[in-house]
Structure 1
Amino acid sequence: MKARNMGTVVWLTGLSGAGKSTVAASLERYLTGLGLRAYVLDGDKLRAGLCSDLGFSDSDRQENIRRAGEAARMLVDAGVIVIAALISPFSSDRAGVRQRFGAGEFHEVYCACPLAVCERRDVKGLYRAARAGRIPLFTGITSPYEAPTDADLVLHTAVETAEESTARLIAFLRARGALPMAIDAAALAG
């Protein structure tokens, strides 16, 4: 028998290169290793499929986050721990998604990382292309990012390792009651 868990969403927000996808993958590995049902909603994957018809105007970004929020809502209803890793640049959009969830179901986690560090981590060359004018409306360069002022948790991904950030996130989720305090070993063995 698999361990049972209630659905919840961990919404990772931050600039491109801030470590959202890395922390999301690490958290997912940990949760599935415990036998919990977890799924990463990754911004890049959503843009390649469900949101492939959207560009990067403010209204398209808002619709992208709305769709991601709806997908997260359905997965949470199915008892999945959803780890959303999306830039989600506008505070009003993040607040709108939060409103779709009940108490204790939504946890906004800000992957705080200075722009200069994100640019150094830029393996895809996106910041270079944006600074050269080849990518219009790039978040943090030519399009705004509204950093959360009231995130449930702030991970300082420029100074913490991915393992440290993940450990702090797990401790936070346990303290919030979003993860079981202990997993029954017999349930995992079945």
Structure 2
Amino acid sequence: MAALISPYRADRDKIRAQHEKAGLPFVEVFVDTPVEICEQRDPKGMYAKARAGEISDFTGVNAPYEAPENAELVLRPEQGDPEQQAATILDYWLSV
């Protein structure tokens, strides 16, 4: 299991295909969180720095994010706290 920021659909599709070719399971989890909530949860102030032009190519601010079209699991903030969502991911992973 790996947690990655993968803003481009083509990159995610490539990794999925590599897993399928190797006979390995692949589960794409889309944590569909509005950028405003990401900013509120940002302890390092990275979003503020990106908005101020101090960081370029920052996903969601000055670089694009292509939402997944076929994620096996989609989570949204209103569906529970992070601990509940982690449990949802683990339950799903153990079921495949």
The alignment's TM-score, normalised by the length of structure 1, stands at 0.47
Q: Please list every run of at least 4 consecutive aligned residues from structure 1 whose deviation after the TM superposition is greater than 3 angstroms.
A: none
Query: How far off its partner does 1:175 sit?
Result: 2.1
How much does 1:174 deviate?
2.3
Does 2:29 align with 1:109? yes
Q: Partner of 1:84: helix, strand, or coil? A: coil
1:120: which partner in 2? 40
Q: For the residues of structure 1 that align with 2:91 and 2:36, how far apart are their CA atoms?
A: 29
Q: Identify which of 159, 171, 179 aligns with 2:91.
A: 171
- In the other structure, the counterpart of 1:76 is none
Deviation digits for residues 146-167 of structure 1, max 9, x if unmatched? 11121010122x2221221112
Give yes or no for the alignment of 1:92 onto 2:7.
no
RMSD of aligned alpha carbons: 1.3
- Give the Cα separation in 1 of the matches to 2:72 and 2:10: 16
Q: List aligned pairs for 1:46-65, cutoff 5 A.
A: none
Aligned to 1:161: 81
What is the CA–CA distance in structure 2 between the aligned matches of 1:110 and 1:131, rounded to whole Å? Answer: 24
> Which sections of structure 1, spanning at least 5 residues, go unmatched?
1-82, 177-190
Task: Calculate percent identity across the aligned residue pairs.
Answer: 42
Question: Are 2:89 and 1:143 equivalent residues in the alignment?
Answer: no
3-state SS of paired residue (1:163): helix
Q: 2: CA distance between counterparts of 1:112 and 1:141? A: 15
Q: 1:108 and 1:101 mapped to 2: Cα distance?
A: 12
Partner amino acid, structure 2, of 1:120: Q
* Structure 2: tracts of 5 or more residues without a match: none
Letter in 2 for 1:147: A
Deviation at 1:122, TM superposition (A): 1.0
Counterpart residue identity of residue 175, structure 1 = S
How many aligned positions are there? 93
Higher Rg: 1
Distance in 2 (CA, whole Å) between partners of 1:130 and 1:112 is 20
**Deviation string, structure 1 residues 49-92 (Cα, Å, up to 9, x no partner):** xxxxxxxxxxxxxxxxxxxxxxxxxxxxxxxxxx2111110000
Distance in 2 between residues matched to 1:169 and 1:106, nearest whole Å: 13
Name the CA distance, whole Å, in 1 between partners of 2:43 and 2:90.
27
Offset at 1:104?
A: 5.7
- Relative to its length, the structure with more strand (as a share) is 1
Q: Which amino acid aligns with 1:96?
A: K
